Amino acid sequence: MNIAITRIDERLIHGQVAYSWSVEYQVNEIVVVDDEIVHDDMQKMLLEMAAPKGKSLQILSVEQAADYLKGSENKTVFLVVRTPQTILDLVNKGVHFDSINIGGMYYKEGKEQITKTVYVDDSEKQIFKELASKGVLLDVRTAPGDKSIDLTTKI
């Protein structure tokens, strides 16, 4: 299994994810990892409708994804999650990431804006620092052609 790109985006699959990112990285499968959505038939149906034609879609829990991503299938995967906690949970279950892309983490009460499209709270800052300490490059870009910003320079 080749994880071509891993992205944190609260919207999961939308136009940019479905087309810009999946085309740029030549993926043949999108894997959504979310412990809540995996049990929500309506959200799963919406994600299935948003997934681009010609790309398979997996919607998995953290536990399922940890096993699935360690598989030997010949697939190039775009992994997308809503929160940095999901990434940390996967890392703690043995999934390796060289880098992750941080995209849409939007404003909520108690969050601080650190880039145009990324707002974080103290807990998320700590998670990102822990991921960085494990050697994960934290790349902030909204679209594939954007200039990369190293998140560690902002937290």
What is d(CA 59, CA 89) in angstroms, rounded to the nearest whole number? 16
Give the chain's length: 155
The backbone region for 54, taken as left when phi is positive above 0, alpha when psi lies in -120 to 50, beta otherwise, is: left
Coil vs helix vs strand at 61: coil
Contact status, residue 6 vs residue 53, Cβ threshold 8 Å: no
- Whether 14 is catalytic is yes
Catalytic residue among 1, 11, 14, 129: 14
User: Given the structure tokens 């620092």, which residue do they identify?
Assistant: 129
The set of catalytic residues is 14
